[in-house]
Amino acid sequence: MSSHIFPKGFLWGSSTSAWQVEGGSIDNEYRILHEQGLIAGGGDPGQSAGFWTRYETDIGLMRQMHHGSFRMSVEWARVEPEDGRFDDEAIRHYRRIVEAVTRAGILPVVDLHHHSNPLWVCRDGGWMNPRVVQRLQRFGGRMAEALGDLVGVWLTINYPTGETWTDRSGHERQKVRGQKRVILAVMGVWPDGQHHLIHYEVAEDENADAWSAVCQHLIARGLDPKAVCMVVSDGTKGLLEALDIHLPQAKLQRCTVHKVRGFERYLKYQELPNTAPETGQAVTAEEARQQRRHTMKTEALEIFEAPSQADAERRLADFVAKWQPIEPDAIHNFTWGIKRCFTFYLLHPALHPLVRSTNALERFFREFRTKADEIGAFPNEDSGLTIFYLVMVREHAKHDRVDFAKTERH
């Protein structure tokens, strides 16, 4: 067993974060998160461990354990509850805490910022507002005046970079607390085959209300509901309900590519062959699984390449007869609601490759996700929509399309 000798002066001790241990009703963002039920397990920072009132007992326990240092933080929202207004009693109380630490023979290590921010900072743009630098400097200066003669080590910001993650391009990005948003987009297809994005907007979630808003906005911009004969969907949540209300005459086409992808997770891989059918050479179990998956997906997609719906239905019958005995779960999933995958046959054959799936829109979103991953997280909705708009302009320029979606913000 190897041993390790820590260097002289290495600090052993305890560490806390003010909002994690002090308790009390403090106007920082964690109180709001608690009130909104967004803290896992329903924990209440207002209850906490009660260090604010029982600090002498806790510091006594540190001394019994022979701790040489104590890293604590100062709750900015407690000291400066309003912009520019400092709570002198709170500052004096922090001084009493630090004095108790020094009396116990423990080195005080004081952290000025440990995740939490005053609500007034959050409401004024938080760390995206450049003024926060001067505000933190003002807060830090006030605490240095009050505690400077007692503190052994100062930390300005704990975890200044925080957790990181690696995006698809291999760049290391900082993890940030954010709010999820979705971009709902609509691509129009004309009888002559022209197609381009005609509308997009941000929503908090993908549901019936959000899609209803999209339909209402399109109609308000001049869309004639009677002119829409078919809507192609990848199975998005809430779209059917919205169509029933706003575009009741439009037929629904289920994306054939998504339909084929959907049955893959139901494959059981029963009765796998030991040899490859083309070469007769032996194959591993994994190779046999890959071969079956590829064969079934290829044959399923070929169903929708048939020149007519009658031919497609015959291909479907042959496909089911072939695979039902050995992959019943996958076939059940594939055939469930499959009639909606044949709606595109109502249109001219020249349009079939374009309207039987959402691939044209998917290709655009792949480009957008690549750019979004390089950025990591958008500071606000407008910045996300700006990148979306620029990707859209680039996509239309590549295909020499003149018209594209325009909204009031652009």
129 three-state secondary structure? coil
Cα distances from 394 to residues 49, 151, 385, 391, 397, in angstroms, run 55, 56, 14, 5, 5
Q: What is the pLDDT of residue 176?
A: 60
| 28 or 302: which leads in pLDDT | 302
* Candidate from 132-136, 142-146, 201-205, 254-258 with smallest mean pLDDT: 201-205
Is-contact 283 275, C-beta < 8 A?
A: yes
The 10s digit of each residue's pLDDT in 230-264 is 999 988 889 999 999 999 999 999 999 999 999 99
Mean pLDDT of the 381-398 span = 81
Q: What is the pLDDT of residue 391?
A: 84
Is-contact 100 150, C-beta < 8 A?
A: no
Query: Residue 379 above 90 pLDDT?
Result: no
Q: What is the pLDDT of residue 409?
A: 40
Mean pLDDT of the 127-139 span = 92
Q: What is the pLDDT of residue 408?
A: 44
Specify the DSSP class assigned to residue 350.
G
Domain extents for the chain?
13-157, 183-254+358-410, 256-348
> What single string gives the DSSP state of each residue in 197-216?
EEEEEEESS-SHHHHHHHHH
174 three-state secondary structure? strand
- Say which amino acid occupies 31: R
Q: Which range has the top average pLDDT, 78-87, 282-291, 355-364?
A: 78-87
Query: Residue 138 above 50 pLDDT?
Result: yes
Residue % of the chain over a pLDDT of 70: 92
Q: Give CA torsion, residues 226, 227, 233, 237, to 10 deg.
A: -40
Query: Residue 406 above 70 pLDDT?
Result: no
Q: Which range has the top average pLDDT, 28-37, 40-49, 283-292, 373-382?
A: 283-292
- Say how far apart CA 402 and CA 330 lie, in whole Å: 43
Highest CATH level, class, for 13-157: alpha beta
- Say which amino acid occupies 399: H
Beta bridge partners of residue 70, listed in sequence order:
14, 108
The 10s digit of each residue's pLDDT in 170-220 is 777 666 656 778 899 999 999 999 888 899 999 988 999 999 999 999 999
Q: For the chain, what's the residue count?
A: 410
The residue written with tokens 């540190």 in the block is 62
Q: What is the pLDDT of residue 401?
A: 54
Q: For residue 399, what pLDDT band results from cuts at 50, 70 and 90?
A: low
Mean pLDDT of the 91-96 span = 97
